[in-house]
Amino acid sequence: MTDDDLALAALLGAPPLEPDPAFAARVAALVEAEAAWHAARRAAWRRFAGEAIGALAVTAGAIVIARVSPVDGAAATGPGLAAALALLSWLITRPEPRAAA
């Protein structure tokens, strides 16, 4: 280091900026809020994906059952009715989505 460097270091370097706990607390609060928001978003996507897969499975099952060739009158309505009941029971008994954090 030259003398100029030392002189500039003395002029520019001192005194160090004081720590600002309020600034650090503000940043920490923002980071915590962002982390909570991301966690809630991940949970919502997981819930949506689970319910979408369940609904698709029930609907696909209902379609397959409804397309089975009817043998007689009772057999024609029976599978469709069973599928509708299965769909209805799933809609009634599915877990309630939790409130977003």
Which residues are near another protein by CB under 8 A? 4-5, 7-9, 11-21, 23-24, 26-28, 30-32, 34-35
Nearer to another protein, 14 or 74 (CB): 14
Nearer to another protein, 26 or 94 (CB): 26
Q: How far apart are CA 17 and CA 92, in angstroms?
A: 62
| Selection from 83, 43, 37 nearest residue 59 by Cα | 83
Nearer to another protein, 14 or 71 (CB): 14
